[in-house]
Chain A
Amino acid sequence: NAGVTQTPKFRVLKTGQSMTLLCAQDMNHEYMYWYRQDPGMGLRLIHYSVGEGTTAKGEVPDGYNVSRLKKQNFLLGLESAAPSQTSVYFCASTYARTGGNTEAFFGQGTRLTVV
């Protein structure tokens, strides 16, 4: 089982460049999320989606855009990368059921460096 797959795993960007991170899940999950992880700050939610064609802002959405054109894919875009966006990015997904053990399944992470 692939679970949640992120591509790429590593990337170095120059300031001002753009890129798209791809997240794919094969568990038929309705909900998908993008988090970023920075030292000493845990994971923070960037954007999320509760279904195909829907997206919403999380805690730290500025500088990012997302799209959920297909249920299994959730794309995170950086239009003009900045050094402050150097981070490790995690995609996650869950079932639509709320309450109880709604375990989030995570991708392996993407380490992005903006120079």
Chain B
Amino acid sequence: AQKITQTQPGMFVQEKEAVTLDCTYDTSDPSYGLFWYKQPSSGEMIFLIYQGSYDQQNATEGRYSLNFQKARKSANLVISASQLGDSAMYFCAMPLPGATNKLIFGTGTLLAVQP
């Protein structure tokens, strides 16, 4: 069965430093994708970045990048040069097999950026 694990319930980072949020997954699907979403205190879910299992290079979107290690089944989110506005809950997610795009989510990591 598909499973997403985020082992860090909460993390602190100093402003302007980089931080890595961990995500490991388990799937038997040979082709899959990993998503990261941000949920600020206002509650909305904001798409950050996507990585496909057959993508040759790690995905990057501005200050966000994915450290994708397929053999280890990990897709860690790296945020460079943290900003106070990065303080939020971060969720890793993966579509379930089948042509429905249903997502399963990890339990999330609460990131606090300190000035």
Contact = CB atoms under 8 A, between A and B. Distances in A.
B45 A106 contact: yes
Given A42-B91, A102-B33, A108 B102 contact: no
A109 B50 contact: no
Interface string A86-98: 0010101010001
Contacts of A90: 45
Interface in A19-64: 31, 33, 35, 40-45, 48, 50, 56, 58
Contacts of B43: 88, 108-109, 111
Nearest to A90: B45
A45 to B, nearest CB: 6
Contacts, number: 67
Nearest to A94: B101
A30 to B, nearest CB: 9
A42 B105 contact: yes
Given A42-B91, A43-B91, A103 B103 contact: no
A31 B101 CA distance: 8
B103 A106 contact: no
A45 B103 contact: yes
15 contacts: A33-B103, A41-B107, A42-B91, A42-B107, A43-B45, A43-B103, A45-B103, A48-B100, A90-B45, A94-B101, A98-B95, A102-B33, A102-B95, A104-B101, A108-B43
Interface of B: 4, 9, 31, 33, 35, 37, 43-45, 47, 50, 52, 91, 93, 95, 99-108
Given A40-B9, A104-B103, 18 more contacts: A31-B100, A40-B107, A42-B106, A43-B91, A50-B99, A50-B100, A56-B100, A98-B99, A99-B33, A100-B52, A101-B33, A102-B101, A103-B35, A103-B50, A104-B35, A105-B47, A106-B45, A109-B44
